[in-house]
Amino acid sequence: MPVITVEAMPMTTDAKRELVATLTHDASRIMQVPETSIYVFIRENPFDDIGVAGKLLSDIKKENASKK
Amino acid sequence: MPVITVEAMPMTTDAKRELVATLTHDASRIMQVPETSIYVFIRENPFDDIGVAGKLLSDIKKENASKK
Amino acid sequence: MPVITVEAMPMTTDAKRELVATLTHDASRIMQVPETSIYVFIRENPFDDIGVAGKLLSDIKKENASKK
Amino acid sequence: MPVITVEAMPMTTDAKRELVATLTHDASRIMQVPETSIYVFIRENPFDDIGVAGKLLSDIKKENASKK
Amino acid sequence: MPVITVEAMPMTTDAKRELVATLTHDASRIMQVPETSIYVFIRENPFDDIGVAGKLLSDIKKENASKK
Amino acid sequence: MPVITVEAMPMTTDAKRELVATLTHDASRIMQVPETSIYVFIRENPFDDIGVAGKLLSDIKKENASKK
């Protein structure tokens, strides 16, 4: 049963593969449930759809890029 | 209120239409609230973003396809 | 997979039992996945924690009760 | 912490920008936590993936358009 | 339709009342939808159920209290 | 950002502590983001509020107990 949802930024498929395998293994061991019962959902949120400290993450990234 | 969220795989619009109508009807009857108060959100998760038993669903599908 | 979440108000266990059985049965049929793969989460939200049209549902209920 | 999620319809980036700034400001003031600790996720749900009163929002929009 | 969910810490009912009214008002204005269509769910997470930077918020609060 | 939500069954505080530390550590490493930016929410769902294969988990547990 446990269901793990990860609200994330865009990620590579390899990173998703490793994240699913690792978080499932961790949760199975700690929560003492079989891996086969665990679902993981990865939410790739576009930078425009994420707000941090009142700003869009896309705007924060543009600001940081312009400071370099 | 209530709000029903369905974490799903890719689906046809016809299936979505039937799912929304049926789940709304069920919930309205069982929870004794008007259908007009019920929202349904269907989350079409790409196979790369779903983990089952520690693997990406996209990888599981590739493995199954190669066994055929 | 799929996972169905129902944001609800306080409900009896019988209503939960029927809701889980019915939503699972219908989702399985429409989405063509086995019932054994479907998880349902019922979220019993206290009336104080639900807002409708800008008001707490607990306040709306008090207002309606005082009108009777 | 806190984390605010907005299940929405398609929106312009300007509207997202204002929504993130405003909701973060409100929550920070009311919940007495720093803006820097608040995350906001905006979920742009396609009209096909939203059900209202048992119908897809895309169908409701088509019906309304044909009545004009 | 929009549905706003606030993952929060324990809050007073007055704070919930203000949060629901304010978030609904602002979302209605910015997203140009009627307040009557907006649902808000406030999730009062116990401090034991919130992790920040790898620690339970309950542990962080104990640490801070012991430093005073 | 990221935010990890774990839909779980009742758990001990020690298990929650270990789950938060481990998931945060692994997500930080794999997603290459600082641990300080990661929030984890653990949702302790009562057995009555979880449906598996169309049945309440509380009923499944009673059935299993009666078979012993």
- C12-65 pLDDT tens trace: 999 999 999 999 999 999 999 999 999 999 999 999 999 999 999 999 999 999
Positions of chain A with pLDDT lower than 50, given as ranges: none
| Whole-number percent of chain D with pLDDT over 90 | 94
Q: List the CATH number of the domain containing F53.
A: 3.30.429.10
What range does the domain containing F49 cover? 3-67
Q: Given a cut of 90, is residue E68 above it in pLDDT?
A: no
Residue of E16, E31, E14, E13 lying closest to E3 (CA atoms)? E31
Site of tokens 């758990």: F11
- CB < 8 Å to B56, chain A: 13, 16-17, 20
Inter-residue contact D10 to D41 (CB < 8 Å): no
What pLDDT does residue C68 have? 75
Contact between chains at F52 and C39 (C-beta distance less than 8 A): yes
List chains touching B (3+ CB pairs under 8 A).
A, C, D, E
Q: Tokens 């108060």 identify what position?
A: B37
Count structural domains, chain F.
1
The pLDDT value recorded for residue F46 is: 96
Residue D68: pLDDT band (50, 70, 90) is confident
- Phi, psi (degrees; rounded to nearest 5) at E66: -70, -20
Distances (CA, A) of A5 to A42, A45, B51, E63: 6, 12, 10, 29
Cβ–Cβ below 8 Å for A49 and D38: no
Distance CA F68, CA F64 (A): 7
- Work out the end-to-end distance of chain E between its first and last CA atoms, rounded to an integer number of angstroms: 46
Who contacts C1 (Cβ-Cβ below 8 Å, separation ≥6)? Answer: A39, B7, B8, B9, B50, B52, B57, C33, C37, C38
Q: Is-contact E31 E48, C-beta < 8 A?
A: no
What are the tens digits of pLDDT across the range F23-46?
A: 999 999 999 999 999 999 999 999
Ranges of chain B whose pLDDT falls below 70: none
Alpha-carbon span E66 to A66, nearest angstrom: 42
Residue A18 main-chain phi, psi, to 5 deg: -70, -40
Nearest to B23 by CA among F63, A47, C31, F7: C31
The CA distance from C67 to the nearest CA of chain F, in Å, is: 34
pLDDT interval class at F68 (50, 70, 90): confident
Residue E7 binned pLDDT confidence (cut-offs 50, 70, 90)? very high
Mean pLDDT of E33-62: 97
